[in-house]
Amino acid sequence: MVVTAGAELLADALTAQAVPTTRVDWQPPVTGTETALVRTMTDPRRHSANTTASERMLAARAALVDVRPASQALALPPDHFLHAGPPVTWERASGPLRGGLIAGMLLEGLADSPEQAERRLASGQVTWEPCHHRGAVGPMAGIVSASMWMMELRDEVHNHTAWCSLNEGLGKVARYGAYSPDVIRRLRWMSEVLGPLLARAVRANGPLDIKAIVAAMVQMGDEGHNRNRAGTLMLLRDLMPAMIETGVPTSDLVESVRFISGNDHFFLNLVMPAAKLQTLAGAGIPGSTLVTTMARNGTDFGIQLSSTGDRWFTGPAQLADGLYLASFGPDDANPDIGDSAITETAGLGGFSMATAPAIVRFVGGTVADALATTHRMYEITVAENPAYAIPILEFRGAPTGIDVVSVLRTSILPQINTGMAGKVAGTGQVGAGLVTPPMDCFVAAIDTLASLAETPVGRQF
Amino acid sequence: MVVTAGAELLADALTAQAVPTTRVDWQPPVTGTETALVRTMTDPRRHSANTTASERMLAARAALVDVRPASQALALPPDHFLHAGPPVTWERASGPLRGGLIAGMLLEGLADSPEQAERRLASGQVTWEPCHHRGAVGPMAGIVSASMWMMELRDEVHNHTAWCSLNEGLGKVARYGAYSPDVIRRLRWMSEVLGPLLARAVRANGPLDIKAIVAAMVQMGDEGHNRNRAGTLMLLRDLMPAMIETGVPTSDLVESVRFISGNDHFFLNLVMPAAKLQTLAGAGIPGSTLVTTMARNGTDFGIQLSSTGDRWFTGPAQLADGLYLASFGPDDANPDIGDSAITETAGLGGFSMATAPAIVRFVGGTVADALATTHRMYEITVAENPAYAIPILEFRGAPTGIDVVSVLRTSILPQINTGMAGKVAGTGQVGAGLVTPPMDCFVAAIDTLASLAETPVGRQF
């Protein structure tokens, strides 16, 4: 389906080419993108490419099949880190990203102090690359280092694997850029106790259908980004028998159960790789104008498209509009960071806001705002996911498959729910709120899409 | 607040007596109740009595403090049973109630076969009385016998205690009137393994705030009667560490965890006593026209009022309108049965349908129907419970405190969500659906209320 407005000639041209069209109230497209838009929209491959990409996204499955250290799962050497968002140098790296890298250095024993870690990071003694380049996703700073244990999820339909680290909890944690001794101690415990316990439980249990849990949580007030309470409860329910049967010492078992059940966001780190599998399934379709990645490193917001491979289209990361913890305020917040916008890329998070009105209310909005947000997202997406049905919208499927063309034509930006990290490395979480990508990403993307577009038969540009 | 419609003279009279009034579209009251209604509505105590009763209902707390056999908790001798609904003789008892009693006889070793049990029940060798007469509540047949373990809940604000048995699961279970060997075996396991384990866990854990869990579940798509999934998950989460630390054999622990987590209704048996504590708090206020009990024994539907003590006002139990399991149909269903309508009496269940649209959809309704149902219940209730806030209604509190006067003036009957038992003893569950009380209960109640009403100063009847 193509949404057209105003430009009747274009709509007629599309209709003549047998592309289904929907007419909506006209609004001018983002200035300067008109030519590229027309060129992209008349690419005769576009309609079927987007249909293919979105159908593959909806068909993707996600099962938790293993929990393994990154050294094994991703063959990650100790001196190589993964991080959230598009690539970034030390010089341009944001405070929380630097903080996360420092935590990784300390955890891996590559530095004895934060200062030493910082010097070694700045001098190029270690390397890093985006999680997305390795099929992984990381919330906030998203640092993955060799000894961190990873959830391993499989999409058997498309033969894809995706990974995510274990969620550390809230407040002062490495993913928010903290690296104090208690942060490192917690990470060590996760590597020594929690990871191995979960690994034994998952292996004994067999593949656990994460897509089914996400489907159930969407019916229980979780949008899967800023609210993951029901998901966490269901994960615990499903793994509990196998966790008990591992026979680990009772104190380790109880500590692990308390750790998981005390953090409503534990399941976020399973929604994210499930969403990654969904978008991976939609990737690699020539002619498609769909977004398959939205990710931020705290400096840049980057998107990737189905038809343009690993190429990033970036713009400056924005500040979230939200609520601050304790005495923190807007001056303390770092711009938007994390791979967790993969949830929105897959139709969850802000896109499914209607199912979680508690989130908008938390930042001063109303239930009507929550409904309006999801309705708005239908305008920039090409599909609805029947597996993720939103009760209050008469079980309408989550809006899925962001179309760059629709974003530019409507000026409606994807709505993202997010946590906010302190801008100074070492701070931790300072709040949570709502944010959008910069329009720049989509403007950059359309130029490339236009340059790659095929010309319809009988038409000249 | 008094709702008045049409009868301007009455409204003026009430206003003159400084009773707050709200005018709504007029509809005729239930025929034949006009005189009793006027007499009851002009009782000068009514407004403040209902305010007191509803405020007490909202202030009630509910904490799980112990799990004990009914022999201890309720001093129940082996030859005395409790059952759902108002009192009933063997001759008038419905199939599922009889089936439940047979199960109780077999469980307590008072009979060797269902036939022998039936003969002994019919010949008066054992006795039974309503759960409600002992501060207990029982879902469906609601049979409580001496060796069944009871959840013991406390409202410290009003110094009340309420009890409910452990939920058996779905399908062929004693509360739906089944008594086959596997049913009795399951009940024995519950008495020998599950009950003692939960008792140790609850005692080790300390009082568990059930009201807080109900508050959370209402925000997660559970209305607390036909949907208790989030509640069950949160109970499991909260008791899990203490359950592990009991040190019971791993096989017993795992079996218990699987039993609880495999039954989304396990938490119903905690919502019910929490609701009972809420309505108990509202009981005993002279002049109040509020309902404090709605309960059914499969033959009669009975209500009790705040101002009329243990007296039951009854009418014939209705057939639910719903969906049938497997090959069952309307001919297989017994009329409405169970104390679980205590959830609606406390503003949950059908009254909070708006929060659980999956329930109406399950029986062919729409989300709009779910919203309309809760909106309708606000018309027959006097208060809104801020603790039980319904997200989609902008977090409006659950409609609480059914006013007999409003039911008769509007002809709006309380909406109840329910399971359906097979009408033949031994069958088990045949479906689930929606039902209302018969209007007869309210008609019977208003006559008594009118006879007890005080006459306003300067007015003669």
| Rounded CA separation B389/B382 (Å) | 16
B431: β partners: B324, B420
User: Mean of the pLDDT values across residues B264-292?
Assistant: 98
Q: Of the candidates B94, B72, B71, which has an alpha carbon nearest to the alpha carbon of residue B83?
A: B94
In eight-state DSSP terms, residue A49 is H
Q: Are A346 and A367 a contacting pair, CB within 8 Å?
A: no
Question: Does one domain contain both B416 and B394?
Answer: yes
Asked if B366 has any chain A CB less than 8 Å from its own CB, the reply is yes
CB contact under 8 A, A240 and B240: yes
Asked if B218 has any chain A CB less than 8 Å from its own CB, the reply is no
| Rounded CA separation A146/A124 (Å) | 18
Q: Smallest Cβ distance to B241: which of A229, A241, A258?
A: A258
A460 within a domain of the structure (yes/no): no
pLDDT at B27 over 90: no
Residues in chain A, total = 461
Q: Smallest Cβ distance to B367: which of A238, A244, A392?
A: A392
**Within 10 Å of residue B52's Cβ, how many Cβ atoms?**
19
Helix (H) or strand (E) holding B106: helix B95-107
Backbone phi, psi, residue B21, to 5°? -125, 150
Question: Does one domain contain both B81 and B51?
Answer: no
pLDDT tens per residue, range B217-274: 999 999 999 999 999 999 999 999 999 999 999 999 999 999 999 999 999 999 999 9
Backbone phi, psi, residue B45, to 5°? -80, -20
Asked if B192 has any chain A CB less than 8 Å from its own CB, the reply is no
A294: β partners: A303
Residue found under tokens 């060798």: B125
Question: Does one domain contain both B22 and B160?
Answer: no
pLDDT at A142 over 80: yes
In chain B, residues with a C-beta closer than 8 Å to the C-beta of A358 are: 219, 391
Q: Of the candidates B235, B243, B221, B230, which has an alpha carbon nearest to the alpha carbon of residue B356?
A: B221
**Within 10 Å of residue A108's Cβ, how many Cβ atoms?**
22
Q: Are A320 and A433 a contacting pair, CB within 8 Å?
A: yes
pLDDT attached to residue A19: 45
pLDDT attached to residue B460: 58
Q: Are B303 and B414 a contacting pair, CB within 8 Å?
A: no
pLDDT attached to residue A418: 93
Dihedral sign for Cα atoms in the order A212, B208, B197, A194 = positive
Instruction: Give percent above pLDDT 90 in chain B.
Output: 89
B55 within a domain of the structure (yes/no): yes
Confidence of residue B17 (pLDDT cuts 50, 70, 90): very low
What would the two tokens of residue A424 be? 């100074």
Pairing outcome for strands B127-130 and B80-83: parallel
Query: Looking at residue A315, which CATH number applies to its domain?
Result: 3.90.1700.10
pLDDT attached to residue B25: 63
Among A249, A273, A297, the domain-final residue is: A273
B249 within a domain of the structure (yes/no): yes
Question: Does one domain contain both B102 and B230?
Answer: yes
| Rounded CA separation B243/B233 (Å) | 14
pLDDT attached to residue A24: 56
B201 within a domain of the structure (yes/no): yes
CA A220 to chain B, closest CA, distance in angstroms equals 4
Q: Count Cβ–Cβ pairs < 8 Å, chain A vs chain B.
A: 83
Question: Does one domain contain both B11 and B125?
Answer: no
Q: Smallest Cβ distance to A237: which of B250, B261, B357?
A: B261
Question: Does one domain contain both B51 and B103?
Answer: no
User: Mean of the pLDDT values across residues A348-377?
Assistant: 93
Chain mean pLDDT for chain B: 93
Overall pTM surpassing 0.90 (yes/no)? yes
Pairing outcome for strands A2-4 and A21-23: parallel
Q: Of the candidates B316, B298, B277, B12, which has an alpha carbon nearest to the alpha carbon of residue B160?
A: B277
Asked if B234 has any chain A CB less than 8 Å from its own CB, the reply is yes
Question: Does one domain contain both A173 and A202?
Answer: yes
B461 within a domain of the structure (yes/no): no
Q: What is the distance of C-alpha B239 from the center of its chain? A: 24
In eight-state DSSP terms, residue B240 is H
In chain A, residues with a C-beta closer than 8 Å to the C-beta of B259 are: none
Confidence of residue A23 (pLDDT cuts 50, 70, 90): low
In chain A, residues with a C-beta closer than 8 Å to the C-beta of B254 are: 241, 244-245
pLDDT attached to residue A28: 87
Q: Are A433 and A325 a contacting pair, CB within 8 Å?
A: no
pLDDT at A293 over 90: yes
B374 within a domain of the structure (yes/no): yes
In whole angstroms, how far apart are CA A144 and each of A81, A97, A119?
A: 6, 11, 19
Query: Looking at residue A260, which CATH number applies to its domain?
Result: 3.90.1710.10
| Rounded CA separation B293/B312 (Å) | 9
Exposed/middle/buried for residue A451 (C-beta within 10 Å: 0-12, 13-18, 19+)? exposed
In whole angstroms, how far apart are CA B260 and each of B70, B235, B245, B355, B389?
A: 20, 9, 17, 23, 26
Asked if B91 has any chain A CB less than 8 Å from its own CB, the reply is no
pLDDT at B6 over 80: no
Among A273, A295, A318, the domain-final residue is: A273
Nearest residue in B to A256, CA atom: B241
Question: Does one domain contain both B237 and B304?
Answer: no
A401 within a domain of the structure (yes/no): yes
Q: Smallest Cβ distance to B395: which of A241, A250, A361?
A: A361
Question: Does one domain contain both A259 and A382?
Answer: no
Among B254, B273, B292, the domain-final residue is: B273
Q: Of the candidates A138, A355, A84, which has an alpha carbon nearest to the alpha carbon of residue A230?
A: A355
What would the two tokens of residue A67 be? 């929990």
Question: Does one domain contain both A448 and A303?
Answer: yes
ipTM reported for the complex, 2 dp: 0.91
Overall domain count for chain B: 2
Asked if A205 has any chain B CB less than 8 Å from its own CB, the reply is no
What would the two tokens of residue B145 be? 């016998």
Q: Which residue has the higher pLDDT, B41 or B326?
A: B41
Of A14-18, A221-225, A318-322, the poorest mean pLDDT is in A14-18
pLDDT tens per residue, range A320-347: 999 999 899 999 999 999 999 999 999 9
Backbone phi, psi, residue B110, to 5°? -90, -5
Q: Is A109 helix (H, G, I), strand (E, B) or coil?
A: coil
Asked if B241 has any chain A CB less than 8 Å from its own CB, the reply is yes
B460 within a domain of the structure (yes/no): no
Q: What's the longest Cα–Cα distance across chain A?
A: 74
What would the two tokens of residue B84 be? 């759902």
In eight-state DSSP terms, residue A144 is B
CA A268 to chain B, closest CA, distance in angstroms equals 17
Of A170-179, A208-217, B210-219, the poorest mean pLDDT is in A170-179
Chain mean pLDDT for chain A: 93
CB contact under 8 A, A237 and B241: no
Q: Which residues form the domain of A398?
A: 2-59+284-452
CB contact under 8 A, A240 and B236: yes
Question: Does one domain contain both B300 and B377?
Answer: yes
| Rounded CA separation B4/A413 (Å) | 50
Beta strands (DSSP E) in A266-380 are 291-297, 300-305, 313-316, 321-324, 337-338
Question: Does one domain contain both B306 and B428?
Answer: yes
DSSP structure string for B52-82: HHHHHHHH---EEEEEEEHHHHS---TTEEE
Q: Of the candidates A261, A195, A258, A183, which has an alpha carbon nearest to the alpha carbon of residue A228?
A: A261
Helix H segments across A83-171? 95-107, 114-122
